[in-house]
Structure 1
């Protein structure tokens, strides 16, 4: 029965890869772009999941376990996890499917995520995990606290989410798309959210049938992968382990089939951040009792205190990490001007500034920008090798320095950028004049400032 985990994981990997479905980016948008549009996709997952789990529970098909809320572990763990996913460049599931796209930086983050999660579960850091979770509030879920059915929470959440999705869909600016066959086009984020929620519902009875009373989960299974590799204990290979392995396989198949797989080696800074971020992810998720999937999608759908408080503190960690680490690079300093380089401009000054006959002035220095001029009013920005969200951050920063009507040509190889960059351009009144693939997992987009 555990092989059903492999199948569910493969479908999940395809959906997440094609939908660019990463909760880190959704939370990050709140702080970097002041936009709540993408986070609605997470609430779609939670709503579909909540309705489905409530139906399965009411029918007696499943009996979800109610996790006790350990406030110290959940708040600290959630915040540390939020910081970690900013450094690692993706949440737990995002790190798995980005690894399948060939990002070696994500491989590094995944290894340290697995090792630190394993250390918290059964290894050298287990004392920290047990100690912080010993502070138990006795609370489990909102329905249990108020003595009502989960339907009283699931239905209002679903209605509110549907209204929010309707609003954003009605006001969504049409973004430029790559000229590729329909089957190669990414899924709309809201479609992906609905599918992830549905997959989460299906996961419950299949996982329970295999002896694992839980739904989707990433951190526990990832730690179990490391435990199995180190100890050879086959009992660690459960339905959840099959799920994450299937996620990788499905995402790899999707990326390979659509030309979005290519090995990409990180620079030293990105690799270092991946080590630190991956380690923080494992520690934080273990303390909080789950990641953006286990807490942010599953426990929230059960309306547990753990799930919603963890999601809040993950968001706060993402906000703090974004403020600290997600900044555009500084523009290059202007070259020093020597006496020989100073060219006198003998063009007469305008009357408003003319103070003496024969007055002269130095020519205005050329504008300093991180982009390279390639023609009059046209600049090139090389973001090959930059991990998301840096291609968008740099694009936004450079465009702010250009004049209306000038163009910026951006080369990038961040898969998520194929959606975020043209969508940002559309929402901010800029025109995309060209958008095409330049090879496997590499693209070029030209934006005219509006």
Structure 2
């Protein structure tokens, strides 16, 4: 069994490693892009984020037309619900308090940030704690489902995706050219080896495409946080894990296999080795390792520990909220912004709609209770 899974594991490590390296060199963090809008009235990081979404949109559609995406829309993207909006709102609060999104905390932890490690502890804890509210939340999600919207905007309109994507990509391209003429793409190099964020955005778009082609799914990592939380809880309170219905759910249960490795597309938050574990855990390890390598190569790896206690508490609390919210949404900002929004999936659009006011509220809490002097 293991040799058959080796290509999938190796691919995850490679994609995660390149992503972690690039994000560290560019300090590419989606949490910062949203936070800076409200805290500093800056939109600098929104430009590469929009480039990431647009480039992913084009690449996914080219891959679909070429027949490289046998499952489209991507697995795990389904009927939208108000739960997606509420989950995005809570996620926005959590990621600002944590100081990074689910991927941002990983690459910062890899570079030695102890507050990022605290946020990761919170992510794992919150992902497991969601099991306590899962029955109620599922009823809420089902009651507020919006099946009339279908899964994506093109499916709702009854047209081929390219008929919507081409005009959107063209409009974005005109905006990108305008920014280029005004010299807004490049930022002054902060340190040796600095990677311009727009380059990191393109790298991440290609990584997302490779993930979708190899596994049928774009990048996503938060189900494995729930798996980790369940495994740790099973060591201390096994009865709770066994009795929690959430850990018996199978959000991924398809009669298909991954193109790379031919792993059955079946998995969920239970602490077992399944398709989601084989796809996500190597990516997580790769992001941490790639970031650590980047930091070591430029002499930036160091442990940052001398911070006020409230910063650690904020990171832990923010990570916990983010972990719960990623299960509420379901999934995280990487999955939705770099995977769902590019194919115009309603779940991801609603998630993003909640993310903005959530980031605003997170910024208010951060400035009043954490960064105050």
- TM-score tier (shorter): 0.7 to 0.9
Q: 2:212 and 2:14 mapped to 1: Cα distance?
A: 14
- Return 13-22 or 167-176, whichever deviates more: 167-176
User: Which of 192, 206, 225 is the matching residue for 2:228?
Assistant: 225
Counterpart check, 1:50 vs 2:77 = no
Please, which moves more after superposition, 61-70 or 8-17?
A: 61-70
TM-score (norm 1): 0.66
Structure 1 stretch displaced more, 79-88 or 108-117: 108-117
C-alpha distance in structure 2 between counterparts of 1:16 and 1:175, whole Å: 15
For 1:230 and 1:11, how far apart are their aligned partners in 2? 32
1:6 pairs with one of 6, 13, 20: 13
What's the offset of the Cα at 1:319? 1.3
Question: Match for residue 320 of structure 1?
Answer: 361
Distance 1:271 1:157, change over 3 A: same
Q: 1:320 to 1:69 in 2, by over 3 A?
A: farther
Q: Which residue of 1 aligns with 2:336?
A: 295
Report what 1:91 is aligned to.
Answer: 101
Find the counterpart in structure 1 of residue 41 from structure 2: 34
Deviation at 1:146, TM superposition (A): 0.3
Verify: 1:153 aligned to 2:164, yes or no: yes
- Determine which structure has the larger helix proportion and give its number: 2
Distance 1:18 1:153, change over 3 A: farther
Equivalent positions of 1:379-390 (< 5 A) are none
Name structure 2 gaps, 5 residues minimum.
1-6, 235-270
After TM superposition, the score normalised by the length of structure 2 is 0.79
Q: Which has the higher strand share?
A: 1
**1:202 aligns to 2:210 (yes or no):** yes
2:288 corresponds to: 248
Which residue does 1:275 correspond to in 2?
Answer: 316
Give the secondary structure class of the aligned counterpart of 2:112: coil
Paired residues for 1:301-450 under 5 Å: 301-326=342-367
1 or 2 for the larger relative contact order (CA 8 Å, sep ≥6)? 2
* Cα drift, residue 142 of structure 1: 0.1
What secondary structure does 1:162 align onto?
Answer: helix
> Does 2:207 match 1:168?
no
> 2: CA distance between counterparts of 1:166 and 1:328?
41
State the alpha-carbon separation in 2 of the partners of residues 117 and 175 from structure 1.
36
Alignment of 1:71-150 (within 5 A): 71-120=81-130, 123-135=131-143, 136-138=145-147, 139-150=150-161
Does the Cα contact within 8 Å between 1:289 and 1:295 map onto a contact in 2? no
Give the number of aligned pairs: 321
Task: Quote the offset at 1:69 in angstroms.
Answer: 3.6
User: Cα–Cα, structure 1 residues 5 and 176, in superposed 2: closer, same or farther, change >3 Å?
Assistant: closer
Match of 1:262? 302
Q: Is the 8 A contact 1:70 1:134 kept in 2?
A: no
Shift of 1:143: 0.6
Q: 1:277 & 1:69 partners in 2: Cα distance?
A: 28
Tell me, in whole angstroms, the C-alpha distance in 2 between the residues paired with 1:128 and 1:254: 43
Distance 1:118 1:152, change over 3 A: farther
Give the match's secondary structure for 2:342.
Answer: coil
Deviation at 1:187, TM superposition (A): 1.1
Q: CA deviation at 1:188?
A: 1.0
